[in-house]
Structure 1
């Protein structure tokens, strides 16, 4: 039984979303978000025979089943070929920004797969006349490393033995996991020869080789012909890409309902088409594979991705997203309003990468390929997408926490193409520093968040372990970015790693704050003696870790902050955001939280001082 848990007040909007609560005897309650669209009766492709619940008789109420037909390579090849052919022939942005002279250091060669073997090949041994041949890549979840075949150079410290010669002479298909086996067979059957798989192409016992190869991920995934997303086996490492499906047929059947729309002050009854628009979110974004930190980067960088899920195949490229159940999108299963959460989750990465490619193309050739008009960025801007990506990435898992910055470096390199005059600094951007510095953790919700400054300086979100990061854009009520209250002066890097910034010098206004007794309001002062009152009122404080929250209580609810940015909100009110800092020594301070204040009486009259954030 389905009950509506969100009303129809927004049905006047284009493709609104309605939430239904599902209750049945074979599962706990669940929620389904569906999109609602006015139905053109002349072009309706929805069956007329539906019962009172909007359910097709052909799709009786029953639990999801694993008895559905299994996905097999032969059955899926035709659909994959159609998607690939359409993309390679008609999608100009999927073909742009390809470096024809790049090729991975090592790849797996599937030429002799019909003899039951694959082999490791060096880039230098792959002969071409002009450019390198196309290659595929694989995104997968390792599972137990002991059960994953790994390329080893031989290391006495780790106790590994070299298998490099064996890899070059030939690896038996029976030696590799079902996922690897299906992936290499798929590449071969699709008419291609090479595939890059991390565990088979990077020496896993060589830190130096890993460091070199990890820095190339932008090129490896960005220049791959197509990426295979092994979602199905991320639930169970013993599974491959193909096999029995878990299918609930009701999710694939749009249905019709009669609904009332407000029109010119009156309510008009019309027939609407309701379709389930969370397929991609549930099957792809909510999968165990998508919770892997490295996959955020891999999915963003790859131009084409085939997602092998437990229910069906999904295609994702710079131009469109498709599903196997509706390969030509005739039933609109992949349609959703471009302002919804589902659209952002489904198209955000590829839409942003397309923007970057188009803008770089315009800068290079002086005009876009769409009539010579400069490219204009619609929602979301790359800057917003970066912040949203940080939020997603911060909630993902990393086997090695020390990979926190390197696992997103490839994404940062693509953004540097869009912002060539900007400077990337351990997860933040210099030109957006006033906003990027004001990230917040969810430690205030009780999340077990800790800080490790061996990973990154305190002012970077990458210094936190656990929880989730949010980076909210600074906005004014009348549009545009809020005014920055800080001045960037200089950044200093780790002498051994020039790309890892440790300290930044900024000029900012210092304030000293303390909570009023028996209230939730705070007073802000211009001097440490708290003799010059600047302003006061209600504030929203979010400390970075649970430990800092406890220290703040013990410290009498007082501290130091600097103004980061402020914006006019209308009716004489301002919204200001501050960075809560803690004195270390001299002019050095470390970040410990974020503070926001809305109201009147805002003043920025204090002189700015030079401080160093560490």
Structure 2
């Protein structure tokens, strides 16, 4: 079962009552949501139900750690998941009073045009508004429960919704949602879910990128949700990570994958330019180069669009994370680092804040506006990030021909990378990520700034190592 705990604490399994619960759980002390779920269980002809607060000893960190690592098996091997979607807490229950007339589809008769007939009127955001925006699905933990369960029964405010890997439906549309309605891709098969996400973005069929597309979609959905305890950031998606590893076939690094890691470092935050970037969690959740190090919605699509490392200018020499427990390979981490060889720019580059767009900046190179940048957290240790502290790390540099309005083609130089900050005031070799930048202008000037940082001069060198970008430097990102 999926449910919101809310402010009303449900009956819980504790070290003090486990012996009593083994003899019997008093049904009259269960929350309304739990009682309704058991009623649904009987209607389905099933005999067992798994509810986190009744199946994990809530005051035992050891039992919680062990059972949280097994949640992928619990949900993926279930018959279905009963979701009290509209309930903010257990007092609301699964069932709600409703006007049955609201379940009927809105039918419109069209008499004119090439295809007259009776049509159903439905909002494009029907599923998003009624299911994905329900109180339950605003919780981060629920993301993996929805993905892992083979079927979901979501009890909404006005009707029942259901979904599996093949279909999403409701009482209004029992045969499936009409074409054009947005829905979340549920399948964990990259050939289905990943390929569908790439088609939605208008991308060509590249099967080797399907698994990364699917993982990017999962991270995007998961990062929208809220967590009561920030330290659960990686734990609450660990079940999905364990399932996806067999498809991606790579080491897991705090939410990212060793394979094609450079592309994955280019994740960005809020898509809404009016959104204020949220601060990093007060407790350590992941190294700064991982999306799991911050709150808020994440967009992680670069590895979805690009194959291979032909456009990558950053060399990753080593990437490691230290787990809190070696027994939980997809769980919490204590630390992590990247050892890299790359280019850096500093003098000549600055950010200029856009009016009313906190955390979103214009990228200024030698006093010219050449691109955009976003900071991961609008504040660092309580103060606005100082532009004089920032370094710029190019990761992806691509030259390509694009067609312009006249039908002619022109060469575009695109540069993308990370905004970083040194971990000490002294010139050092250790940095943390604080943001992301992108430009399609002045890339030659940006290369000159990298030459200046490493050689002290913007002039093109005489050896292959010092031409264009200048020599690569070795440093660590934590």
Q: TM-score, normalised by structure 1?
A: 0.61
Distance 1:356 1:163, change over 3 A: farther
Shift of residue 230 of structure 1?
A: 1.1
**Following superposition of structure 1 onto structure 2, how do residues 205-604 of structure 1 map, counting pairs within 5 Å?**
205-232=59-86, 234-235=87-88, 237-245=90-98, 249=102, 252-257=105-110, 269-271=114-116, 273-277=119-123, 278-329=125-176, 334-337=177-180, 342-343=181-182, 346-350=183-187, 352-353=188-189, 355=191, 381-420=210-249, 422-442=250-270, 445=274, 447=276, 449-452=278-281, 454-465=284-295, 467-473=296-302, 483-494=311-322, 496-498=324-326, 499=329, 500=333, 502-515=336-349, 522-523=364-365, 538-548=370-380, 554-556=386-388, 559-570=390-401, 571-584=410-423, 586-599=428-441, 601-602=443-444
Distance 1:292 1:560, change over 3 A: same
CA distance in 1, matches of 2:194, 2:291: 30
Shift of residue 245 of structure 1?
A: 2.1
SS at match of 2:470: coil
Shift of residue 189 of structure 1?
A: 3.1
Shift of residue 560 of structure 1?
A: 1.2
Counterpart for residue 464 of structure 2: none
CA distance in 1, matches of 2:421, 2:88: 44
How far does the alpha carbon of each residue in 1:64-101 deviate from its partner, in whole angstroms, 9 at most, with x for none? xxxxxxxxxxxxxxxxxxxxxxxxxxxxxxxxxxxxxx
**Following superposition of structure 1 onto structure 2, how do residues 115-130 of structure 1 map, counting pairs within 5 Å?**
none
Counterpart for residue 201 of structure 1: 55
User: When the two structures are aligned, how many residues end up with a matched partner?
Assistant: 417
How far does the alpha carbon of each residue in 1:223-261 deviate from its partner, in whole angstroms, 9 at most, with x for none? 1121111113x245323222422566387123233676x
SS at match of 2:302: coil
CA distance in 1, matches of 2:190, 2:432: 37
- Root-mean-square deviation (Å): 3.4
Shift of residue 471 of structure 1?
A: 2.3
How far does the alpha carbon of each residue in 1:561-589 deviate from its partner, in whole angstroms, 9 at most, with x for none? 11111333422112211111112254211
Shift of residue 559 of structure 1?
A: 2.8
Counterpart for residue 149 of structure 1: 11
CA distance in 1, matches of 2:417, 2:155: 45
CA contact (8 A) 2:397 2:415 kept: yes
CA contact (8 A) 1:474 1:565 kept: no
1:164 aligns with 2:18: yes
CA contact (8 A) 1:301 1:353 kept: no
CA distance in 2, matches of 1:327, 1:584: 56
Match of 1:607 among 465, 471, 476: 471
Shift of residue 438 of structure 1?
A: 1.7
Distance 1:446 1:244, change over 3 A: closer
CA distance in 2, matches of 1:611, 1:463: 20
CA distance in 1, matches of 2:351, 2:476: 32
CA contact (8 A) 1:416 1:424 kept: yes
**Following superposition of structure 1 onto structure 2, how do residues 127-146 of structure 1 map, counting pairs within 5 Å?**
138-146=1-9
**Following superposition of structure 1 onto structure 2, how do residues 35-184 of structure 1 map, counting pairs within 5 Å?**
138-146=1-9, 148-153=10-15, 162-184=16-38
Counterpart for residue 453 of structure 2: none
CA distance in 2, matches of 1:450, 1:417: 33
SS at match of 1:245: coil
CA distance in 2, matches of 1:335, 1:379: 30
Shift of residue 283 of structure 1?
A: 1.6
Distance 1:409 1:259, change over 3 A: farther
CA distance in 2, matches of 1:258, 1:197: 52
Shift of residue 186 of structure 1?
A: 2.0
Distance 1:588 1:251, change over 3 A: farther
Shift of residue 521 of structure 1?
A: 6.1
Q: TM-score, normalised by structure 2?
A: 0.77
Q: Which runs of 5+ in 2 are unaligned?
A: 196-204, 354-361, 402-409, 448-467
CA distance in 1, matches of 2:369, 2:96: 61
How far does the alpha carbon of each residue in 1:402-454 deviate from its partner, in whole angstroms, 9 at most, with x for none? 1111001111111101012x121111122232222122234974526212461
- Whose Rg is larger? 1
Shift of residue 196 of structure 1?
A: 0.7
Shift of residue 206 of structure 1?
A: 0.3
CA distance in 2, matches of 1:450, 1:245: 40
SS at match of 1:168: helix
